[in-house]
Amino acid sequence: MLKEADGLSSRVKVYFLLKRRSDITRQDFLAYWRGEHRRQVGHLKKCKLYILKVEQAMLQLDMAEFFSSHPSQVELDKPRVDDEWDGILMFELASMADLKAFFAEHEYAACLRPDEAKFIDVARSRIMVGQPPEWNDDHAASYAAESPPH
């Protein structure tokens, strides 16, 4: 496991590539995820203490034509725009210990996990965990300041 001594912050970002259950439509998946599931999460008191930031992203499935002229895609017969997933969830925590505590929390097991099973195909979804470099925030701010206006 990477450590702060490797130039990484103690923060942890968890990315979930979500796949809907095969018995529900993409529209129903998104409606439940943005509606009822979000309300369920809102009722959690202990779990929310660990989360610094949450982002939901709904995939844009019509981007193949847009990316067809990107240098990484030009030589392909069909541009590779990944439409396998139905949504992306990212949340950020202060440390790996907080990540472990979040998933060990009784609230998660009793409330959130059963609700996830109502619309997510957990077996076909994916999780990635990363630690951003310490300079990430400063770099993003300086990059934005140096970027020309659109």
CATH architecture for the domain at 9-146: 2-Layer Sandwich (3.30)
User: Which has the minimum average pLDDT: 59-63, 81-85, 86-90, 109-113?
Assistant: 59-63
The residue that leads in pLDDT, 60 or 106, is 106
User: Which has the minimum average pLDDT: 26-30, 63-67, 69-73, 102-106?
Assistant: 63-67
Is the pTM higher than 0.85? The answer reads no
Per-residue confidence band for 132, with pLDDT thresholds at 50, 70 and 90: confident
The answer to whether the CB of 140 falls within 8 A of the CB of 9 is: no
Q: In the chain, where are the structural domains located? A: 9-146
Q: Whose CA is closest to 90, among 81, 82, 99?
A: 99
User: Which has the minimum average pLDDT: 18-22, 33-37, 90-94, 132-136?
Assistant: 132-136
Which pLDDT score, from 0 to 100, does residue 2 have?
A: 46
Return the sign of the alpha-carbon dihedral for residues 28, 31, 35, 40. Answer: positive
Q: Alpha-carbon distance 147 to 47, whole Å? A: 38
